Amino acid sequence: MSELVQLTKIDGIAVVTINNPPVNALSAAVSAGIAAAVAQIEKDDAVKAVVFIGAGRTFIAGADIKEFGELTSGKIICRESLKPLLLRIEDLRMPVVMAIHGVAFGGGLELAMAGHYRIALPSAQVGQPEVKLGIIPGAAGTQRLPRLAGVAKAVEMCAEGAPLKAEDALSAGILDRLVEGDLMTAAIAFAKEVAAKPAPKTRERSELGTPEQNAAIFAAARETTRKKQRGLLAPLAAIDAIEAATTLPFEQGCQKEEELFTKCLFSDQSKALIHAFFGEREVAKIPDVPKETPTHGRRHRHGFCQRGNSGAPQGNGSGRARSRLGQHSEKLCQLRQAWPFHATVRRRAPQAHQTDVGLQRIRERRYGYRSGF
């Protein structure tokens, strides 16, 4: 059993705890730990129900994005699919309850949808935000979500990537119950309640609407996507994958999803957006400046520093800027000179230039200045 995943038993209820701080990313090691826990549960006839829960501040915030980067760069040859493991969970003979707090995003929601029941704290959120990285759900998310929430809601969530609050997820049919108080206690109680009930498999649900209804939904979604997300591959691929869920059996729909996922993952757009994702993290880190350093709310209208002919940092309104950021201003200038993000993004995918705006906003909020590049 992996240290990242623990299996315990409480009153005949098996509890699988994912403990991969800070956000319980669904890495290959976590998947292996879950598989080992499922193997033990399959052999234990005394288990009446199963609870999956996240340790710390959240359920599962998504897949380990570093693994995607390693895959596209050739550092790893292949990444084991999560789909077979989710099928094993869904095929367990006893009910499986997914207990959600914090967020269940990406692979976290895909794992939750493989369970038979889902409960959550009112503060929780769920979502499929993969399109923000230029990819689509790759572990049957586009196939299970429309079976739970309906085609229109699945298209909205997968093509736009916006999160859904717990109350809205309950109304949409993604969640079965909202609970108050201690999540573990509530999950054990709910598991005991459903232990003798049938274990409904999400993939076997067939409430997917009529072809006429779905045709209108997909046409409207594609038109909106071409206007609001012009030139981007992933949103249209997500719509295509969900459409496959309405026209193909589950297994064939998963194959279509896999094809579209792979195409998106190895696209220049995905590589650029994943690069931007890590860039946003790195740009917020300044060597030797502790996290608790106060930030400033005021902004400069002009660029903070620019490279002169000599290559040295030069300030626009540098007196004011340096007085506001004090001893950390030089660190910011050095970071900007060393960071080749913008040229890389524009070279790889011209459509991804909007990520510049995201980086600029992060700098404004965190450091109190408007970037000039």
Q: Which residues pair with 8 in a beta bridge?
A: 15
**Cβ-based neighbour number of residue 153 at 10 Å:** 20
In the residue annotation, 130 being an active-site residue is answered as: yes
To the question of pTM greater than 0.85 for the whole model, the response is no
In the residue annotation, 110 being an active-site residue is answered as: yes
pLDDT score recorded for residue 278: 83
Catalytically annotated residue among 70, 80, 90, 110: 110
Burial 190-223 (b: 16+ CB within 10 A, else e): bbbebbeeebebbbeeeebeeeeebeebbeebbe
Which two three-digit tokens encode residue 373?
């590049």
Beta-sheet pairing, 49-54 with 125-127: unpaired
Catalytically annotated residue among 130, 160, 243, 257: 130
Q: How many CA atoms lie within 13 A of 260 on its CB side?
A: 30
**Residue 2: what residue type?**
S
Q: Which of 117, 90, 283 is nearest to 194 (CA)?
A: 117
Q: Domain locations in the chain?
A: 5-204, 289-367
pLDDT score recorded for residue 316: 42
Compute the distance between CA of residue 342 and CA of residue 205 in angstroms, rounded to an integer.
45
Give the chain's mean pLDDT: 83
Position 322 confidence tier, pLDDT thresholds 50, 70, 90? very low
Convert the pLDDT of each residue in 36-61 to its tens digit: 999 999 999 999 999 999 999 999 99
Domain 5-204: CATH architecture, name and number where available: Alpha-Beta Complex (3.90)
